[in-house]
A and B are shown apart, each in its own frame.
Chain A
């Protein structure tokens, strides 16, 4: 089997056993990236020289028999909104082209301390405002599953890189679905952790009350391994024997099923049948506020962003506000301009109570509705997206039509709940995905539930 096809944890074992050296791995990967990247365009910054230097040191330590972490030597990528010292952290926005902070994002520091090998940074919608990568100032990335297909967004470059096997895992950021949607479109696992569980320091902000960092991986176990390294709390490692779902109460939300295309709902119902066969008890529930999550999100997120730009600095991303203000504001793209204007409108005396406060009250109600359901059930299962990945040629032009890509994702963001997306079938040659939402800080538990499905279906990750 090609080394490209191993999971991150399997690859680490090969390195630990010295069946393969990290230097050999990087050399092989370099050839693959050079061959693949012209059609995928996942990277906006690639530093293989740095990766090679890191690999020499790590090989030496492995030879000496030093104990290394479960992701040591595993190549990964960061979304371009995550700071690394003196390296581009432009979030693919023209306005931040020259932003090179003098610090590392907390998650970048944690992974490099664990000796994972950083390859570079990946494409995204400018300032994370989008669901396709088309708003990137570098142009779009491409989903390796089919020609001219969007990988989703805003963490689309991260997902495209992992799906194209250019990296074993990626970190993305998820404000209203930006990890889960691209992971779903690219046939990968993507996790939005509980709000606050993973440190957001050093990540270019979009909406500080919503922003979260999380992994995009090839399987659930790799996702749990990355989560264990980047979380503030010790999540523990997964057990060798997967969780038994026998007797587990799983809710399926009917509003989500109705919003998705019938073939997507069918794929999720088939996944639920797998859980049922394994002994879980499936119950259909109603979450009537679901349809208000996305419009409420599109009030709260731009208002948060506009408020940030009106301030002096943002402590979680020092220098960001200053960098934006130092540049000609006409460099903002159309989507950025729209959201900034909307945010200032919601934040202004003209409107503040009409929309922003109302949206924050809906946020409370949505959180109560979901938490109340999660008191009775171990998790809530939904489709991740209404449809499979879309072709660039058929992409809606109007902003609000594009926003609908995040329709099933916004509620978990607004409520601060953990949610994982994982593949659950193929529709017309493209991946379908389900989302599992859980109680706050039950991140590991929903990953266990996700893995139970992977194991039950003996899923092999067929990457494009």
Chain B
């Protein structure tokens, strides 16, 4: 789960000014998103090649 320190670090990496944000609200939203997407870990992906690019017809 995200700590406030971690969010500040990420904002710095992203060059994102979040000084006028309600940081607690932002933390709650990010943590909620993280819980939601973490359900992908239920799927066994052993020996599966990641699909990172899609072919475009030229």
Contact = CB atoms under 8 A, between A and B. Distances in A.
Interface of A: 195-197, 209-210, 232-233, 289, 291-292, 295-296, 298-299, 306, 309, 325, 328-330, 332, 334, 337-338, 340-342, 344-345, 348, 350, 354-355, 357-365, 367, 398-400, 403, 416
A195 B40 contact: no
B32 A341 contact: no
Interface residues of B, number: 39
Contacts of B18: 330, 337, 341
B17 A399 contact: no
Given A295-B37, A340-B14, A289 B43 contact: yes
B33 A298 contact: yes
Instruction: State the majority secondary structure of interface residues on A.
Output: helix
Of B10, B20, B49, B55, chain A has the most CB atoms within 10 Å of the CB of B10
Contacts of A338: 26, 29-30, 33
B24 interface: no
A399 B42 CA distance: 22
B16 A298 contact: no
Contacts of A195: 54-56
A232 B57 contact: yes
A354 B40 CA distance: 10
Nearest to B56: A196
Contacts of B32: 398-400
Given A341-B11, A399-B29, A364 B50 contact: yes
Interface string B16-40: 1111110000100110111011111
B57 A196 contact: yes
Nearest to A304: B52
Contacts of A355: 37-38, 40
A119 to B, nearest CB: 29
